Amino acid sequence: MSIFKEHKTIADRSAADRSRHKRKIEKAIREGVTDIIADESIIGQEGKKRIKIPVKGIKEWQFIFGQNESNKQVGSAPGSPIHKGQVVKKGQQQQQGQGNNPGNDKGEEHYEVEITLEELAEYLFDSLKLPDLDRKKFKIAVQEKPKQHGTRPYGIRPRLDKKESAIQRLKRKSAAKRTEQIELDPETGEEVFPFHDNDLRYHFIKEKPKEATNAVIFFMMDVSGSMTTNVKFIARSFYFLLYQFIRHKYEKVEIVFIAHTTEADEVDEERFFKRAAAGGTHISSAPFLALDLINDRYHPNSWNIYAFHCTDGDNWEEDNDKAIAAFIELRDVCQMLSYNEIVLASERPNWDSSENSKLWSRLKSIEGKNMKMNILKSKDDIWPAFRHLFGVENV
Amino acid sequence: MSDWSFDDLTKWDEKICEIAKSRGLDWYEIAYESCDYFEMIGNMAYHGMPSHFPHWSYGKSFERTHSMYNAGLEGLPYELIINSNPSIAYLMLENPLYLQILIMAHCVGHSDFFKNNRCFKDTDAEHVTRKFRSARKRIQNYIENPHIGIENVENIVDACHSVQYQIDRRGRFRLEEKDLKKSLIDKINSDKNKVYKKIDLNKKPLEPEYDILLFILENSSKLEDWERDIIEIVRSESCYFMPQIRTKIMNEGWASFWHYKILNELELPDSLHIPFLKTHNQVLRPWGGRINPYHLGFEIFKKIEEKFGIEECFTAREVFSDESFIMQYLTEEHARELNLFTYSPKGRKNPDWSIDDVVDEEGWPEVRQALISSIGSNSIPVIYVNELKDRTLILQHEHDGRDLELDYADNCVKNISKLWKDKVKLFTVLENDIFEF
């Protein structure tokens, strides 16, 4: 005779482990951002659009044998005709990915996470901050105060909501009592039930942007003959991130696209990214055009201005002095001006051993709080560069 | 929804137990718990243990089963029973009556196997659930301890899991170091042919140590108490589960062998008997590209009974593990009937998997060797501690022709050094060359 126990509903026992697994996946999403943002299909999409992101499974590392000829598998197929050399499983051709993208590992687990661009932006930008607005005295005066918006389970110590945290602990305690998981102190015999990290609640403070706070972003890109498709691809991914980020932080963003060779033009998005490359390079033309537009349409007193420039650094020498002057002038009206040089290791002529362009070394002298510079050597550098621009901590 | 009540289950259980007893089965009392499918997946994630410490990997395991269930890729396993006394087994509320009867008979077979197979003699079925509960409590305390916290605990568990099966698989008797030394000294002293001259008595360990976690526990001076405790917990869980890994084919074969016998003796009405046969055939069908342990084990036990009688079956279930069971009983003729074959991918140029050997005069030894290498714990690479030198832990992979997956090995070595907190090296062979991590 066996024992039978009737069904009794117990707490969903794996809930906590599932949520930690989920957090690991979220972290993987964040870390895999360079792969995600480089996907052309999401560039230029609307915020509500749902995108599928392949996320590599969180691995549990163990010693395993590789799948190769030395590791023979055994099968059993009674009744079927089989013979030596018969193909039983079609192998996947090694994907010839672009350059540094080797074929997929065998047996790799993939999750498909479906999120909106807005959620993606949240994953990406939660820890990042826009450069502060301290020069905009006029606007700070009217800006609304940060408002408390309920609580959330993470935050900084000073914002700890003691009352809510105590309530959470009590809730957990009474749940634990039901499942008899409370422990007694061996010495005093009293119940021991310490605070758990998950109990803690923090005030959530939302910095509501003032409606009148407008931002304009100047995307300036070198489209001269030396900018190859790969370089432009990185520029494009970088701009996409910027666009999403600033839109995440501001309700209203205007974007101005400036493409330049020896002369700069204001263009629309499509032409900005797809414009055929030709001609020489006068980098100064872009910041000068930006300055003209600022004078016309975006007065620094009522606009937060961001300007980003992407180039391969291959400027004509005669233009360097002008370019530096233009950048200094632009820097002084911008919240942030960023100069980004994209130098692909694979595309460098091997007689050119210098790390950066001449312009780079000269611009270095005017780098400062609102003038930042990046070098991008591959698409893996996009995110670090981005953090360099906006990261709270120094990267 | 279901077509049964607890009274039905009790009634059928009584009959099952009666038949099983009369046939000589000797099992732990079974405690059945009913649960719905969601709870079933939850229990499966923790290997059926009523209490188990938390770790994200169990959440992952849950998600995987759950999504497969929802996608209809995989029916839930029909039974889940643990090696304990009493044996705890789960009955899913959604299952129809015939399936519950089948599961109960199947569980009796498993429980008999747990109780009688030699590999299980040190698994301490009496206390195992209590041990797991106490481990859970201790780990919960570390998690809630503000000086430790969940991140640190999970990091250590992650690291332990990388070598969880690198334990002494056969549970051999270990000599204490000083006794081992003494026996070696005796050997050297009485050694006339100078075979043992080269033994270095100062080497540590004196003999290869296959239990990596134990070696770390015994030789590390840098571990905190809570870290030691976690390592010990993971290690003892592996020791508990290792016999099940080593006897998967026998265990499932034995349980299927008995559920089939018992259900045929129960004189079920057709309305139960026909769906039973259907499910039985479904569970025991060969899987083609992989060995179905239910199928292979069942077929071998059937053959043993035909050839040598039921007594031999009982002896086999007591003394063998999968490896010795196959060596002892799987004949070439039987393997031909089962149409066994080996196959592998053929390298980068031709990634297709094709058949290397089938069972014929020439191919049988190859197929047999590949089968033995792929079953039980043989599918897990053997890594041992070769030497401890200047604080560096030197590990050696016992290469048997199969190369390690590099990415995984590399990360495992990193994980081991988190436990050892000093340099760790691993030597293996890769495409016929010595390779060092």
Over residues A267-283, the mean pLDDT reads 75
Could you tell me if A181 and B139 are in contact, meaning their C-beta atoms sit under 8 angstroms apart?
A: no
Tokens at B117, concatenated = 């197979």
Length of chain A: 395
Q: Which two tokens stand for residue A326?
A: 């233009």
Q: What are phi and psi of B271, to 5 degrees?
A: -65, -20
The residues, ordered by sequence, that sit 6+ positions from B126 with a Cβ below 8 Å of its Cβ are B84, B85
- Nearest Cα to Cα of residue B58 among B44, B70, B76, B69: B44
Query: Which CATH number do you get for residue A271?
Result: 3.40.50.410
Terminal-residue alpha carbon distance, chain B: 57
* Segments forming the whole domain that contains residue A158: 148-206
Count of positions (residues) in chain B = 437
pLDDT at A240 over 80: no
Q: Is the pLDDT of residue A269 over 80?
A: no
| Residue A374 pLDDT level (bands cut at 50, 70, 90) | confident
Q: What is the pLDDT of residue A52?
A: 60
Q: Which residue of B has its CA nearest to A79?
A: B339
CB–CB contacts below 8 A, A to B: 251
- Contact indicator for B201, B185 with CB cutoff of 8 Å: yes
- Last-in-domain residue among B270, B300, B330: B330
Q: With CA atoms as reference, report the closest residue to B287 among A107, A71, A77.
A: A77
Average of per-residue pLDDT across A256-262:
86
- Chain B 219-248, residues with CB within 8 Å of chain A CB atoms: none
Q: Compute the nearest-CA separation of A259 from chain B (Å).
A: 44
Expressed as residue numbers, the domain containing B87 is 6-117+247-330
pLDDT at A113 over 80: no
pLDDT at B162: 94
User: Is A89 close to B343, i.e. CB distance below 8 A?
Assistant: yes
Strand pairing report for A253-260 and A264-267: antiparallel
Nearest CA distance, B274 vs chain A (angstrom): 23
The pLDDT mean for chain A works out to 73
Convert the pLDDT of each residue in B382-409 to its tens digit.
999 999 988 899 999 999 889 998 889 9
Helix (H) or strand (E) holding A264: strand A264-267
What is the number of domains present in chain B?
A: 3
For residue B336, give the chain A residue with the closest CA: A78
Confirm if B317 and B369 have CB atoms less than 8 A apart: no
In a domain? residue B149: no
Nearest to A63 among B42, B383, B401 (CB): B383
In a domain, B83, yes or no: yes
Q: How far is CA B131 from CA B51, B128, B136, B137, B138, in A?
A: 9, 5, 9, 10, 11
The owner of tokens 């993208």 is: A101
Q: Is residue B239 located within the same domain as residue B252?
A: no
- The reply to whether B323 and B356 lie within a common domain is no
CB atoms within 10 A of CB A221: 27
The DSSP letter of residue A43 is: T
Task: Report the run of H or E that residue A258 belongs to, with start and end.
Answer: strand A253-260
How confident is the model over B265-282, as pLDDT tens digits? 999 999 999 999 998 998
Over residues B113-119, mean pLDDT: 95
Residue where the block lists tokens 């299980």: B120
Q: Distance from B309 to chain A by nearest Cα, in Å?
A: 25
Which range has highest mean pLDDT (A20-34, A259-273, B82-96)? B82-96
Contact between A66 and B404 using a beta-carbon 8 Å cutoff: yes
Write down the residue that tokens 């009744």 correspond to.
Answer: A79
Q: A156 to chain B nearest CA, in Å?
A: 16
- Could you tell me the CA-to-CA distances from B175 to B180, B187, B206, B389 in Å, in that order? 6, 15, 11, 22
Same-domain status, A248 and A344: yes
Residues 6+ apart with CB under 8 A from A39: none
Are A376 and A241 in contact by the 8 Å Cβ rule? The answer is no
Residue B240, pLDDT score: 94
A8 found inside a domain: no
| Of residues A22, A69, A82, nearest to B358 (C-beta) | A82
Contacts of residue B9, Cβ cutoff 8 Å, sequence gap at least 6: A4, B32, B91, B100, B104
ipTM computed for the complex? 0.89
Per-residue model confidence (pLDDT) at position B318: 95
Mean pLDDT of A183-202: 76
Q: Let me know whether A167 and A239 are in one domain.
A: no
Strand partners, B198: none
Confidence class for position A135, pLDDT limits 50, 70, 90: very low
Asked if B361 and B410 sit in the same domain, the reply is no
Q: Cα–Cα distance between A182 and A176 in angstroms, integer?
A: 6
Contact list in A for residue B348 (CB cut-off 8 A) is 94
- Whether residue A370 is contained in a domain is answered as yes
- Is A137 part of any domain? no
Same domain, A44 and A155: no
Do B170 and B111 share a domain, yes or no? no
B24 and B82 belong to one structural domain: yes
In a domain, B17, yes or no: yes
- The 8-class DSSP code of residue B404 comes to B
B55 and B95 share a domain? yes
In a mutational test of the A interface, the residue from B142, B148, B157, B344 whose CB has the highest number of chain A CBs within 10 Å is B344
Dihedral (C-alpha) A317, A321, A326, A328: value to the nearest 10 degrees? 130
Q: Is residue A170 part of a domain?
A: yes
A196/A319 same-domain check? no
Based on the fold, state whether residues A196 and A317 are members of the same structural domain: no
pLDDT of residue A358: 75
For residue A391, the tally of other CB atoms under 10 A from its CB is 13
Indicate if A218 and A201 belong to the same structural domain: no
Please indicate, yes or no, if residue B124 is contained in any of the structural domains.
Answer: no
* Residues A176 and A119 both lie in one domain: no
- Per mean pLDDT, which range of A86-100, B95-109, B145-159 is the poorest? A86-100
Q: How many domains does chain A have?
A: 3
The residues in A 205-264 lying below 8 A from B, measured between CB atoms, are none
| pLDDT the model gives residue B165 | 92
Considering the domain architecture, whether residues B181 and B199 belong to the same structural domain is answered as: yes
Residue A303 shares a structural domain with residue A284: yes
The minimal CB distance from B402 to the residues A24, A65, A76 is found for A65
pLDDT at A188 over 80: no
* Confidence at A103, pLDDT banded by 50, 70, 90: very low
Tokens of A126: 């939660």
The mean pLDDT of A182-202, rounded to a whole number, is 75
Counting residues of chain A whose pLDDT is more than 90, the rounded percentage is: 2
At residue B60, the pLDDT reads: 87
Q: Do B298 and B329 meet the contact criterion of CB atoms below 8 Å apart?
A: no
B175-193 tens-digit pLDDT: 777 787 787 777 777 766 6
Domain shared by B321 and B340, yes or no? no
Work out whether the CA dihedral A231, A232, A237, A238 comes out positive or negative. Answer: positive
Asked if residues B311 and B133 have their Cβ atoms less than 8 Å apart, the reply is: no
Are A103 and A305 in contact by the 8 Å Cβ rule? The answer is: no
| Contact (CB<8Å) B343/A72 | yes
Q: Which residue of chain A has the CA closest to B105?
A: A2
Residue B92 lies in a domain: yes
Burial of B428 (0-12, 13-18, 19+ CB in 10 A): buried
Any idea what the Cα angle at residue A296 is, between residues A290 and A300, rounded to 5°? Answer: 75
pLDDT at A109 > cutoff 90: no
SS3 B114: helix
Q: What is the pLDDT of residue B196?
A: 66
Cα-to-chain-centroid distance, residue A138: 32
What pLDDT sits at residue A394? 40
**B253 exposed, middle or buried (CB, 10 Å; 0-12, 13-18, 19+)?**
buried
Q: Is residue B139 part of a domain?
A: no
Residue type, B50: P
Asked if residue B1 belongs to a domain, the reply is: no
Q: Please give the helix or strand (H or E) that residue B34 lies within, else none.
A: strand B30-35
Query: pLDDT grade, residue B215 (50/70/90)?
Result: very high
* A259 domain-assigned: yes
What's the rounded Cα separation, in Å, for the pair B179 and B436?
A: 33
Residue B163: is its pLDDT beyond 90?
yes
Q: Is a pLDDT exceeding 80 seen at residue A120?
A: no
CB nearest B33 (choices: A5, A60, A68):
A5
Choose the mutation target among A25, A62, A82, A105 for the interface with B, i.e. most B CBs under 10 Å: A62
pLDDT of residue A323: 86
Q: What is the mean pLDDT of chain B?
A: 89
From A129, A128, A112, select the one nearest A29 (Cα to Cα): A112
The answer to whether residue A17 neighbours chain B at the CB level (below 8 Å) is yes
The answer to whether B351 contacts chain A (CB < 8 Å) is yes
Instruction: Say if CB A308 and CB A388 are below 8 A apart.
Output: no
Look at residue A7 and tell me if it is in a domain.
Answer: no
Question: What's the confidence (pLDDT) of residue B150?
Answer: 92
User: Tens digit of pLDDT for each residue in B421-431?
Assistant: 999 999 998 88
Is residue B41 located within the same domain as residue B91?
yes
Burial degree of B357 (CB within 10 A; 0-12, 13-18, 19+) = buried
Contact list in A for residue B288 (CB cut-off 8 A) is 75-77, 80
Least confident of A200-214, B94-108, B165-179: A200-214
Per-residue pLDDT at A95: 37
Reference A68, options A106, A120, A36; nearest CA is A106
pLDDT number for residue B166: 92
Contact A76 B286 (CB under 8 A): yes
Q: Is the domain of A197 the same as that of A241?
A: no
| C-alpha distance from A389 to closest chain B C-alpha (Å) | 29
- CA–CA distance, A256 with A267 (Å, rounded to integer): 8
On whether any CB of chain B is under 8 Å from the CB of A10, the answer is yes
Q: Is B131 among the domain residues?
A: no
Which residues in chain A have their CB less than 8 angstroms from residue B343's CB?
A: 72-73, 75, 88-89
